[in-house]
Structure 1
Amino acid sequence: MSRSARSAASSAARSAARPAASDFPLAGVPAGLAEPLRPHLEAAAAEMVGEIQGLVPEYARPPESRYGRRMRWAVEQSVRQFVDAIGRPDIDWGTVTGIFEGIGAYEARKGRSLDGLQTAIRVSGQVACRRFIKDARRLGWSLETLGKITESLFVFLERIAGAAGQGYARAQGELAGERERFRRRLRDLLVMDPPASDEAIGELARAAGWQVPRTLAVVAFRLDPGQAVPVLPPAFLADWDAADPYVICPDPDGPGQDRLPAAITGTRAAAIGPTVPPARAALSLRWARRALALIERGVLPGKEPLRCLDHLPSLVAAQSEELLDVALAARLGPLMDLAPHRRDALSRTLLTYMECRDNAVAASERLLVHEQTVRYRIRRLEESLGGIMLDPDRRIELLLLLHHLVRLDSGDRRLSPA
């Protein structure tokens, strides 16, 4: 809430603490004082409107416009209500306070502050003071009567300003709730599969006050029981109530990319899906959840937020585990027939050797063994496997099989998880 809204709301609270009308200073003024003022009410309202339009730029509208007519009506009702309260302890303020509650709500819905309205109320009070001083001379009021009327004017202005603040605050709360509903609908629309159109996304984003990014990424989370939900910037769209919570991050590779790791630090596990256009957010979420599942299996590291594109081989192989499992016996039969400890050493050596572009020295450094050991194992594998190791068309196939055997297979074929 803006400072002006908080001030108005505070004034409203103070006004609400006052007795309604019996304690209003005008109640002690003779009722007959109102009659000489009534012929001049329209002129007073017109003067106030003119001053407001001259001093408050946002209210400088054509007099015959809908806005201009509405403003003149509100000022006339306020002036009439004040004069009607002279000498009446039973006056009902509901009409005029209702008008200003509506004005305050209107300003909030238009995205404006209450500064202009509060200035307009002060300007109206200044015009009223000048006119009351002239009326005192013209009608022969005593100083005591003029003082009561002036005091009543300030109480009246405080009351209508407070009503405007209440309407403004209530409308802001309603707008915030409505915007949050639109944000939830937008979040669900983005991850819909099949994807929604760009037009539908843009329309809902405008209603939610969310700027559609050029790209986005979806992050899948795993929170510890009882862990507090991370505080995220407004640009992030989150679903913490889903079975698998996720967050939509706009432009993860742009200038604000550092916001993403900072926002998800402290979660038990997090996987960042690939960066995609907004309409393909479902794809990013799908792969983020697959990566998260591999983290929980212990296949992928989970100490830091994991980016899917940094672990393509594991993610691709994980989606074909059944087929790869069957292909192991067909393609790597001699290797699979070995004892587990022998199979593990040879398969890890071959995978590392191929990842190092068939460089035995580099492979030995990664495996922490002598380079001659690597060369010996490779010769043994060439003798047993033969064709598949020498056929360049089978190289990708062999890499996938070895990756599955060494890094994904959680069955008895694996010797150790290292």
Structure 2
Amino acid sequence: MTQGPMPAELPDLLRQHLQSAVAEMEREIRDQVPEYAGDDGGEYAKRVERTVSDTVAFFVDSVDHPNADARKLTELYMQLGEQEARQGRSLDALQNAMRVSSQVACRRFIMDAYRLGWSRETLGRLTDSLFMLLARVADAAAQGYAREQGQLATERERRRDRLRDLLVAEPSPGPETIAEVAVAARWDLPKSIGLVALPQGAPAGARILPPAVLADWEAPVPYLVVPDPEGPGQDRLWPALRRLGTAALGPTVPVGQGAVSLRWARHALSLAERGLLPGGAPVRCVDHIAPLATLAAEELVGATAGAVLGPLLDLAPARRLPLAETLLTYLQCGDNAVVAAERLHIHEQTVRYRLRRITELTDGRFTEPEGRLDLMLMLSWLVRTARAEKSA
């Protein structure tokens, strides 16, 4: 800042024109800042104008008291910044009001400098002091704004976390409670949700998700709440899930049944991690209903497999698996050996040979239509567990 003595009469001279300067600033603010337009500009506009008046008064006092304590003034600007954040507005209007005020002050300084014969040094010191003060209070407003935004973000995250927990609670707290918490969390309540179960330790860079997705990364089995997973607008979700590696999307359910979707998602994830469902990428429960149903009753299936599969279980694994795969595929293809061969990538005669071998081992038991569903479920369990053991 330009050095040199200030005229002794300067502070008193500025005080004489204090009210007219404030009045001019208020008029210019109302004319140039749309948010404060109108006769009164609203209660908040009045508060800004009072703060402008306090700022001008402090500036005038600081001319002959350069070490004046500005903490009270900066606190006022911090409060203004906080209020802007609470109202969901940017700082643009407040900053524009400060800019307009500085323009009025500089214009009046220049007029007085010519009228009263101030030196360039005096004018320079005045304008430098003004801009230093404005920078200081602008910084205070920005600090208040950032502080309040941080608190608002923290509170919103707490509300989103509470909503997330309610959506997977069992029993469900009811639609009214969920709707109320969703409004408080600023979360648009969807018609349905799907829960995604995730492996532990997802990298931070892979946790960038659409804002509507609620996440619990700290749960023993982390999970996501996805609104309307079958609806439009989920193009960004699947690439994000692929970055997370193995993941499982539970069935789409009404909002009050999130616990059901989460339970099946976690079951599917567990099976994928064991190699019983495809891994390395997201899996959808809706695409694996039969194996999920069978493997959900794995203890029962294992205990009764001998009664259904009989002699097949007595074979060595290297012989048992090809026969079980062939029979399962043959049944899935509607007893069509040609289609089964194409799906298994083997010759049709190989399929027929294996089927004859199964008939010999079981005395033709598997050709009977009765109990075919049980047989297919058992074979699916046998094939999946054998493949998982083989890959392990």
Which range moves more in the overlay, 252-261 or 81-90? Answer: 252-261
Q: Distance in 2 between matches of 1:271 and 1:308?
A: 7
Q: Is the 8 A contact 1:317 1:404 kept in 2?
A: yes
**Corresponding residue of 2:352:** 372
- In the superposition, relative to structure 1, how do residues 199 and 55 fare at CA in structure 2: closer, same or farther (>3 Å)? farther
Q: Is the 8 A contact 1:364 1:374 kept in 2?
A: no
- In the superposition, relative to structure 1, how do residues 228 and 151 fare at CA in structure 2: closer, same or farther (>3 Å)? closer
Cα deviations by residue, 1:116-167 (Å, 9 ceiling, x for unpaired): 2221111111222333345456666555444432332232222222222222
Q: Is the 8 A contact 1:344 1:415 kept in 2?
A: no
- In the superposition, relative to structure 1, how do residues 260 and 70 fare at CA in structure 2: closer, same or farther (>3 Å)? closer
Q: Distance in 1 between matches of 2:105 and 2:294?
A: 81
1:149 pairs with one of 126, 133, 140 = 126
Cα deviations by residue, 1:300-329 (Å, 9 ceiling, x for unpaired): 121332221111111001122233334434
Shift of the alpha carbon at 1:380?
Answer: 4.1
- In the superposition, relative to structure 1, how do residues 384 and 131 fare at CA in structure 2: closer, same or farther (>3 Å)? same
1:274 pairs with one of 251, 274, 279 = 251
Asked if 1:63 is matched to 2:43, the reply is no
Asked if 1:403 is matched to 2:380, the reply is yes
**Corresponding residue of 1:169:** 146
In the alignment, residue 208 of structure 2 is paired with which amino acid?
L
Q: Distance in 1 between matches of 2:48 and 2:164?
A: 40
1:351 pairs with one of 312, 320, 328 = 328
Asked if 1:204 is matched to 2:181, the reply is yes
Question: Within 5 Å, which residues of 2 pair with 1:314-329?
Answer: 314-329=291-306
**Corresponding residue of 1:285:** 262
2:369 pairs with one of 387, 390, 393 = 390
Question: Within 5 Å, which residues of 2 pair with 1:6-155?
Answer: 28-30=5-7, 32-60=9-37, 62-63=39-40, 65-136=42-113, 141=118, 144-155=121-132
Q: Is the 8 A contact 2:295 2:381 kept in 1?
A: yes
1:230 pairs with one of 199, 206, 210 = 206
Q: Distance in 2 between matches of 1:144 and 1:326?
A: 98
**Corresponding residue of 1:187:** 164
Question: Within 5 Å, which residues of 2 pair with 1:302-341?
Answer: 302-330=279-307, 332=308, 334-335=310-311, 338-340=314-316
Between the aligned residues of both structures, percent identity stands at 48
Q: Distance in 2 between matches of 1:214 and 1:24?
A: 66
**Corresponding residue of 1:6:** none
Which range moves more in the overlay, 180-189 or 85-94? Answer: 180-189
Q: Distance in 1 between matches of 2:119 and 2:325?
A: 105
Structure 2, gaps ≥5 residues long: none
- In the superposition, relative to structure 1, how do residues 417 and 130 fare at CA in structure 2: closer, same or farther (>3 Å)? closer
**SS where residue 247 of structure 2 aligns?**
strand
- In the superposition, relative to structure 1, how do residues 142 and 403 fare at CA in structure 2: closer, same or farther (>3 Å)? closer
Shift of the alpha carbon at 1:268?
Answer: 5.1
Q: TM-score, normalised by structure 1?
A: 0.79
- In the superposition, relative to structure 1, how do residues 268 and 154 fare at CA in structure 2: closer, same or farther (>3 Å)? closer
Aligned-residue CA RMSD (Å): 3.4
In the alignment, residue 189 of structure 1 is paired with which amino acid?
L
Q: Distance in 2 between matches of 1:64 and 1:373?
A: 90
Q: Is the 8 A contact 2:309 2:378 kept in 1?
A: no
Aligned length: 387
Q: Distance in 1 between matches of 2:389 and 2:121?
A: 101
Q: Distance in 1 between matches of 2:263 and 2:254?
A: 14
Q: Distance in 2 between matches of 1:72 and 1:228?
A: 46
Cα deviations by residue, 1:1-47 (Å, 9 ceiling, x for unpaired): xxxxxxxxxxxxxxxxxxxxxx897x943454333443543332222
Q: Distance in 2 between matches of 1:188 and 1:317?
A: 29
**SS where residue 86 of structure 1 aligns?**
helix
In the alignment, residue 293 of structure 1 is paired with which amino acid?
S
Shift of the alpha carbon at 1:416?
Answer: 6.1
Q: Is the 8 A contact 2:77 2:138 kept in 1?
A: yes
Shift of the alpha carbon at 1:229?
Answer: 5.3
Q: Distance in 2 between matches of 1:348 and 1:153?
A: 85
Q: Is the 8 A contact 1:219 1:271 kept in 2?
A: yes
**SS where residue 85 of structure 1 aligns?**
helix
Q: Distance in 1 between matches of 2:165 and 2:39?
A: 44
Q: Is the 8 A contact 1:216 1:250 kept in 2?
A: yes
Q: Distance in 1 between matches of 2:79 and 2:121?
A: 35
